[in-house]
Amino acid sequence: MNDVLQLSLFNTPDKKHTNYTALYDLAPRFVQRAERDADQPYLTRVTREFPFNGELYSVTIYPARVADNKGQEWDELPGDREALIEDVLRRFAAEKLALGEKDELMVPFSLYQIDQELRRHKHTLSYTEIKAALSILTGAKIEISRVVQPGQKKPKPVVHASALPVLVYKDDNDPKAMSYAQFNPLLAHAIRALEFEQVNYEWMMQVRGALPRWIFKFASLLLADSERYSDSIHLLASELMKGYGHSRSRERDALSDIEKSIKKLKDLKVIADVKAEGIKEGRVKTDIRFTIRFSEKFMEDRRIARDIGQHRGKEALRVTGRQRPETFHRISSEEAARISMDRRQIAAEAAPTQLQ
């Protein structure tokens, strides 16, 4: 028995989808602008608070110390480039993910594969830039904690580790040599407990810009929840700004960025219709209330994600006796093949309406 139940269920039957988990993937872990004093190579940590599942959490991002080609050390915080690279690695993981001896999860990749995947979606980074992004994802620690009221005991962090705690290059000079990256332990825990949802990666990568891509993930994870499955929702721009960790100091510019992001999703037919109502304090617009109706195609995509989620739960219950396993479970190759076949059948039922 060399196959693993959770990894078989994490695998997607095509290259159009991957999986995300709400707390880890929606936390504002990426910094769009790092304020640096002139000629100052070092940065301070960044802490943000964000709402999740009815509670308030904080995320602290510690800068990675990296060296340039002259040996000069600089601090760097993970930003839009690093978020894009992590999305690509997540896509690779949906095809192949390895379980280590200590239950760590490793994704195999090569620099060439990352380059080709980025080019496929009209993103261009040099090998040097890709390696720099991977170094930052490895060196920049993130700490996520639940925020409590003053006087209450501070809880232990949910996680304190980098996005890629271990990065192994087989041959640093060969872009086609296979390398390995270990996933963050919070993500590994979510995969073990099957606390993830399928997201349309191919559609998401058509979205230009980190903020609208984050809103796409947010909406995808929101509508994968059967209790929130509705084609219409109300959202405040301030909620999206806080959840994303928007760094604009001018409120007017931040509101404009949110409006532009919503429009991009409408242009890509994720959203069928949207109404924006400005909220003012006196004469100053301080917020926007969006009434959003999602497209039939997006809702169908979310219905399939929910069906696949229900299939995951049934398989876990059948094999382990619980829908949220506490340990990784080995299964036979025949069982893994059957799971893959079932997943393909669920996807095939919706093939006429899926994004081509």
Q: Tens-of-pLDDT digits for all 356 residues of the chain?
A: 579 999 999 999 788 999 999 999 999 999 976 666 666 788 999 999 998 888 999 999 999 999 877 888 889 999 999 999 999 999 999 999 999 989 999 999 999 999 999 999 999 999 999 999 999 999 999 999 999 888 788 788 899 999 999 999 988 889 999 999 999 999 999 999 999 999 999 999 999 999 999 999 999 999 987 667 788 999 999 999 989 987 666 777 889 999 999 999 999 999 999 999 999 888 888 999 999 999 999 999 999 999 999 999 999 999 999 999 999 999 999 999 999 898 888 877 765 545 44
CA distance 175 to 331: 34
The secondary structure element, H or E, covering residue 63 is none
Which tokens belong to 127?
């090998």
Q: How is residue 29 written in tokens?
A: 């872990």
Residue 131: both structure tokens together: 């390696």
pLDDT, residue 224, reads 85
Q: In what helix (H) or strand (E) does residue 252 lie, and over which residues does it extend? A: helix 251-267
Q: Max CA-CA distance within the chain?
A: 67
- Cβ atoms of 209 and 216 closer than 8 Å: no
What is the distance between the alpha carbons of residues 83 and 79, in angstroms, rounded to a whole number? 6
Residue 355, pLDDT score = 44
Q: Which two tokens stand for residue 242?
A: 């806080």
Burial of 45 (0-12, 13-18, 19+ CB in 10 A): middle
